[in-house]
Amino acid sequence: MSIKILVPDMGDFKDVEIIEVLVKVGQLIKKNDSIITLESDKSSVEVPSTQEGVVEKINIKVGDKVNQGDLILNLKSKSIAKEKKEDVNEDKKIEKKVEIEKQKSTKQKEMIPAPPISQSGSKSASPKVRKFARELGANVVEIQGTQRAGRVSEEDVKNFVRSQVTVSSGKIEKKIHKEEYSHEEFGKIELKDIPRVKKLSGPQLVRSWTEIPHVTQHEEIDITEMEQFRSSLYDYYSGEMIKVTPLAFISKALVSALKVFPNFNASIDPNLNKVIYKKYFHLGFAVDTPHGLMVPKIRNIDQMSIKEIGEALKKTSKLCRELKIDKKEFFGGSMTISSLGGIGGTFFTPIINPPEVAILGVGKSFDKLVKLNGKIVSRKILPISLSYDHRIIDGAEGAKFCVYLSECLGKDFAFKLAV
């Protein structure tokens, strides 16, 4: 007596091609182990086994087109096999062989990420990517796809593998962090899911922090005149005050600086080993939302007035907070501004948003007594923190960039920004 494993319900899919057979005759498989990969023109899916047992006969082959209910393979149930005395020895032999194979692959996997927890489920990825993931001991089901409709790319597999291992003294080890004592030992705790936006941005932040040699330069910019001007802005026709935050001025100054220092409006192409210089000025803005931090881009800021930038900032941050922003608007930036000016604090170390090479952190302006023309006077100071990728921007250029920004926002801001 054998168990039949059939093609499951595949919705609207008909005549779907088998592109991989993942098991062999004699192999012991568990419930939910993947047995075949099907690929339609839309996606590829691994079909899991619905039963546990030893593969007795495989009824399909690569290239066959299947539909719901078609027989994939016959399994010999482990319990039935045990009842039949003559089969016991053979099964034991098979199981031993499987065990040896398992031990062999575990030995290999000690060098690479841990084996997948579950082989079930479906995820969109090409057969090449699936094979690549399997060779590295990863399961595409667990990998966050960055392509259209969450499709997993080869790069996603590499990033996943990187996030799972550490390299110490030439040895690759799986990252396992265990606290010395569990948190419960010290009092009451509560376990919550990490919000989706944070789950998505987490690996990107780790990648940036670990792969990019960051340098952060801090600067105090005297914005006294600019602030006097900003607070006196009014509409010529209606006579109403115009409310624009300092961020609109800072954006204008940053675009001006990017024109003078093109290395900051660049990306590194690791495949071609070249630097890409962007001829457009699309700034990213870190937006604090109830769902987590988002970094949308505002396009062609060089062609906008300060008032228009202020309006675009309000509109874009609203779209983010209401989750109405298009995914594409998170890509294709020149440089990012992370402003905590509306909240508080002075200097911090912003993390570069790859593939960009620099980020400007802005703190809350404060009054400071300074010596000016021999007199002690109170001035409005804006604290900024510029982080840059030291692989293509050197320290002198970073310092010049900050000095230039200071001039753009300083007492001659009106000439520099051509307001």
Catalytic machinery residues: 390
Q: Minimal CB distance to ligand CAO: which residue?
A: 341
Write out the H or E segment, with its range, that includes residue 173. strand 171-174
Among 16, 66, 247, 304, binds ligand CAO (CB under 6 A): 247
Residue located via tokens 């399909």? 60
Using CB under 6 A, which residues numbered 282 to 311 contact ligand CAO? 285-288, 293
CA atoms of 411 and 64, how far apart (whole Å): 75
Residues 6+ apart with CB under 8 A from 189: 183
Stretch that binds ligand CAO, among 20-28, 47-55, 146-154, 238-246 (CB under 6 A): 238-246
Report how far apart, in Å, the C-alpha atoms of 11 and of each of 15, 173, 175 are.
Answer: 12, 41, 39
Span of 55-63, 120-128, 153-161, 239-247 interacting with ligand CAO by CB under 6 A: 239-247
For the chain, the 3-state helix, strand and coil shares in percent, each to the nearest 5, are 35, 25, 40
Query: Is residue 385 within the footprint of ligand CAO (CB under 6 A)?
Result: no
Question: To the nearest 10°, the Cα dihedral for 331, 336, 342, 347?
Answer: 140
Our separate counts of H helices and E strands in the chain read: 10, 21
**Contacting residue, 37, 139, 159, 338, with ligand CAO by CB under 6 A:** 338
Closest distance to ligand CAO from the beta carbon of 295 (Å): 8
Judged by CB, which is closer to ligand CAO: 104, or 411?
411
Member of 53, 296, 341, 410 binding ligand CAO (CB under 6 A)? 341
Q: How far is the CB of 246 from ligand CAO (least distance, A)?
A: 5
* Of 116, 246, 296, 333, the one binding ligand CAO by CB under 6 A: 246
Nearest-approach distance from CB 215 to ligand CAO, in angstroms: 18
Please report where in the chains the tokens 């182990």 appear, as a residue: 33
- Residue among 249, 216, 245, 217 at smallest CA distance from 408: 249
The secondary element (H helix, E strand) that includes residue 402 is: helix 395-409
253 forms part of the interface with ligand CAO (CB under 6 A): no
CB burial of residue 13 (10 Å; 0-12, 13-18, 19+)? middle
Task: State which amino acid sits at residue 1.
Answer: M
Q: Does 342 bind ligand CAO (CB under 6 A)?
A: yes
Query: Would you count residue 353 as binding ligand CAO (CB under 6 A)?
Result: no
Q: Annotate each residue in 19-58 with x if it binds ligand CAO (CB under 6 A) or - if it does not, as one string.
A: ----------------------------------------
Positions in the binding site for ligand CAO (CB under 6 A): 243, 245-247, 285-288, 293, 313, 317, 338-342, 362, 364-365, 382
